Amino acid sequence: MTPTCRHLSNGLTVLCYPNPAVETVALGLWTGVGARQETAEHQGVAHFLEHMLFKGTKTRSARDIAHQIEAVGGHLNAYTGREVTGYYARVLGDDAPLALDILSDMVQHAALAPDEFEREREVILQEIAQAMDMPDDVVFDHMQAAAFADQSLGRPILGTRETVGAMTPKAVRHFLTAHYRGEHMILAASGAIDAERLTALAEQTLASLPGNPPRATPSRPNTKKPAPASSLPPSSLPPSARLPIIPSSPAARWIGGEKREKRPIEQLHLVMSFAGVSATSADYYGAVVMAIILGGGMSSRLFQEVREKRGLAYSIGAHYSGWSDAGMMTVHTSTQAGHVNEMIAVLCDEIAALASTVRHDELAAAKNQCKASLLMALESTLGQCEHMTRSLFRFGEIIPPATIAKRIDTVSVADVQRLAAEITRHPPALAAVGPTDSLESYSAVCARLN
Active site residues per annotation: 50
Query: DSSP letter string over 162-197?
Result: HHHHT--HHHHHHHHHHH-SGGGEEEEEEES--HHH
Q: Give the integer Cα–Cα distance in Å for 275 and 148.
A: 10
Crossing angle for the helix pair 360-377 and 381-395, nearest 10 degrees?
A: 110
Q: Give the integer Cα–Cα distance in Å for 338 and 385.
A: 46
Q: How many CA atoms lie within 13 A of 166 on its CB side?
A: 8
Distances (CA, A) of 313 to 56, 248, 265, 305, 308: 46, 42, 15, 10, 9
Residues forming a β-bridge with 269: 334, 433
* Torsion of Cα atoms, 379 then 279 then 77 then 372, to 10°: 20
**Which among 314, 315, 312, 280 is positioned nearest to 296, based on CA atoms?**
315
- Whether the CB-CB separation of 318 and 271 falls below 8 Å is answered with no
Terminal Cα distance for the chain, rounded: 50
Query: DSSP letter string over 42-86?
Result: TTTHHHHHHHHTTSBBSS-BHHHHHHHHHHTT-EEEEEE-SS-EE
Residues forming a β-bridge with 14: 6, 187
Residues forming a β-bridge with 382: none
56: left (phi over 0), alpha (psi -120 to 50) or beta: left
Indicate if the alpha-carbon torsion angle 438, 442, 444, 447 is positive or negative: positive
- Whether the CB-CB separation of 191 and 24 falls below 8 Å is answered with yes
